[in-house]
Amino acid sequence: MYTMQAVAVLTQPNAPLLTMTGICKSFGSQEVLRAVDFDLCAGEVHVLAGENGAGKSTLMRILGGALRADAGRTTIGGRQAVLRHPRDAAAHGIAVIHQELSLVGSMSIADNLFLGREPSTAGWLHRAGSLERARELLARVGLRLDPRRTVDSLTISSQQLVEIAKALALDARIIVMDEPTSALSAPEVQHLFARIADLKSAGCGIIYITHRLEEIYTIADRISVLRDGNLVATRRAEDLPAGELVRLMVGRSMSEQAPRHATAQTKVRLRVEHCTVRAARPGLPPIVADVSLQVHRGEILGLVGLEGSGVSELLWTVFGALGKRGSARVEIDGRPTSIHSPRAAIDAGVALVTNDRKRTGLIPGMDIIANTTLASLPRLSPAGWINRAAEARQASDSARRLNLLAASLRQSVSSLSGGNQQKVVLARWMGTQPRIVLLDDPTRGVDVGAKHEIYLLMNQWSEQGRSIVFSSSEWPELLHVSHRIMVMHRGRIAASFEGGRAGPADLLRAAMGATADA
């Protein structure tokens, strides 16, 4: 119903298809969006740019009906729209295409296209009709596939096009694409862009989120920049050069960060050469492409990259945790070391704190002591019999050093706050006495106090001569803590900076793949 009216309004060129005004959203005490205004015209691609955590996804989740705004109004085709549920958004002709596709892999393309709205009479499906309609829709996105094929059997890029066809099946006029190219090869990206051009000429408006500068300037008509929940600019793409865009995303105030340390000039502790991580499917560029780096004794090396840059995969490979997908030549203290499993890495004195403590860090049912000592049990139980006194001593020592807040060490880790959970993970790696610590975004989702404790621990480790590779999604902290910073873009080292020689804007430029003079 709504969509028919929307179409009528939209036949006039450049009529605003969507207007969002004064959108506010807070999670607890944290303001994520502050009175954001955003609009979208028919037949345009409007790029939404911003750093990690700037509020882009929150805004799009509000538009998609997955979240409700605290304040503000949304107008679609000139009429106020109430978006309480993804269903409402669909009824208003809004389709959101996420990075994780929302197709049911075991079902056929046709079934996916009409899921929830199957053409039927009294529950009896119109099979022939829906196949016919599915073929039409697939043709519109340039796919010549049998609609009876299961979605599982398609490549990621075809799945993405099926997702777009599904948006067309819904008569969607407002299409949100959240980093659609992150898993695509270059020709597939070209094909996607051609389909986006088709959608534009068909009168759809497209909201496009990406971290890649070259894409922004290939397809954007307009660009809006979000920073810390504020909309800082909306301009035509030709009026917003790359340098200016990056400056707006970062904000001026943060570029004057004092460096903490000079580079430690000591012996090389960790040398990684030719680190390569294959993509999950053949035909795609590698996730990490022949990266080499070295870290000195006591040095904190900051590693920066936007989503999909390969930073985490690089760390996992050095830790031997990616199996056959990742390979690297690793030398520790000048000696070639073969690390083929996490156990081997631990024995060689390497520790890895992953960026997702719930999925890859904590063991939920176990208490603080058992979680803390898990990686050092071979030492605490040489004959297989756990020395419970030594175990409790180690846990309470590290708990004291990290200022862990808990009622008892026998408490389950599930009942701890995010910051204290992260301290338990760090305590686990204090226990193995590592020479090299790989920290993948260790301050994600922890409170300010715990962040401070983590920096203190890193300093301590550094002073003890341990080497640290530190990645973080919060660049100010990374600039603050690191002796040296390397920036990764699409699996390669795009730039490196000595401590204090770079600001957030430099990092962002390099991480988005801008050439040195952009």
Residue numbers at the binding site for other proteins (CB under 8 A)? 27-30, 319, 321, 342-343, 345-347, 352, 354, 359-366, 369-370, 374-375, 377-378, 381, 384-386, 388, 392, 395-396, 399-400, 403-411, 415, 417-420, 428, 445-447
| Helix (H) or strand (E) run with residue 332 in it | strand 326-332
| Calpha distance 513→511 (Å, rounded) | 5
Q: How far is the CB of 348 from other proteins (least distance, A)?
A: 11
For other proteins, which is the closer residue by CB, 268 or 363?
Answer: 363
Q: How far is the CB of 326 from other proteins (least distance, A)?
A: 14
Where are the strands (E) in 335-378, listed by range? 335-337, 350-353
Specify whether the CB–CB gap between 297 and 467 falls below 8 A. Answer: yes
For other proteins, which is the closer residue by CB, 114 or 470?
Answer: 470
For other proteins, which is the closer residue by CB, 204 or 446?
Answer: 446
DSSP 208-276: EE-S-HHHHHHH-SEEEEEETTEEEEEEEGGGS-HHHHHHHHH-GGGG------PPP---EEEEEEEEE
Q: How far is the CB of 404 from other proteins (least distance, A)?
A: 6
Can you give the length of the chain in residues? 518
Q: How far is the CB of 29 from other proteins (least distance, A)?
A: 7
Q: How far is the CB of 483 from other proteins (least distance, A)?
A: 26
The one-letter code for the residue type at 309 is S
Residues with Cβ within 8 Å of 253's Cβ and at least 6 positions away in sequence, in order, are none
For other proteins, which is the closer residue by CB, 419 or 491?
Answer: 419
Specify whether the CB–CB gap between 494 and 326 falls below 8 A. Answer: no
Pair of tokens at residue 485: 């910073």
- Residue 44 C-beta-side C-alpha neighbours within 13 Å: 22
For other proteins, which is the closer residue by CB, 25 or 222?
Answer: 25
For other proteins, which is the closer residue by CB, 53 or 78?
Answer: 53
Q: How far is the CB of 342 from other proteins (least distance, A)?
A: 5
- Residue 237 C-beta-side C-alpha neighbours within 13 Å: 16
Q: How far is the CB of 392 from other proteins (least distance, A)?
A: 4
Q: Residue 330 pairs with which residues in a beta bridge?
A: 272, 337
Specify whether the CB–CB gap between 142 and 194 falls below 8 A. Answer: yes
| Calpha distance 179→99 (Å, rounded) | 6
For other proteins, which is the closer residue by CB, 65 or 431?
Answer: 431
Q: How far is the CB of 128 from other proteins (least distance, A)?
A: 37
CB atoms within 10 A of CB 387: 16
For other proteins, which is the closer residue by CB, 78 or 418?
Answer: 418
Q: How far is the CB of 205 from other proteins (least distance, A)?
A: 29
DSSP 442-496: TTTT--HHHHHHHHHHHHHHHHTT-EEEEE-S-HHHHHHH-SEEEEEETTEEEEE
Specify whether the CB–CB gap between 394 and 380 falls below 8 A. Answer: yes
For other proteins, which is the closer residue by CB, 122 or 407?
Answer: 407
| Helix (H) or strand (E) run with residue 439 in it | strand 436-440
For other proteins, which is the closer residue by CB, 5 or 417?
Answer: 417
Q: How far is the CB of 468 from other proteins (least distance, A)?
A: 18
For other proteins, which is the closer residue by CB, 158 or 372?
Answer: 372
Q: How far is the CB of 320 from other proteins (least distance, A)?
A: 10
Which of 47, 55, 50, 59 is closest to 222 using CA atoms? 47
Indicate if the alpha-carbon torsion angle 295, 297, 299, 300 is positive or negative.
positive
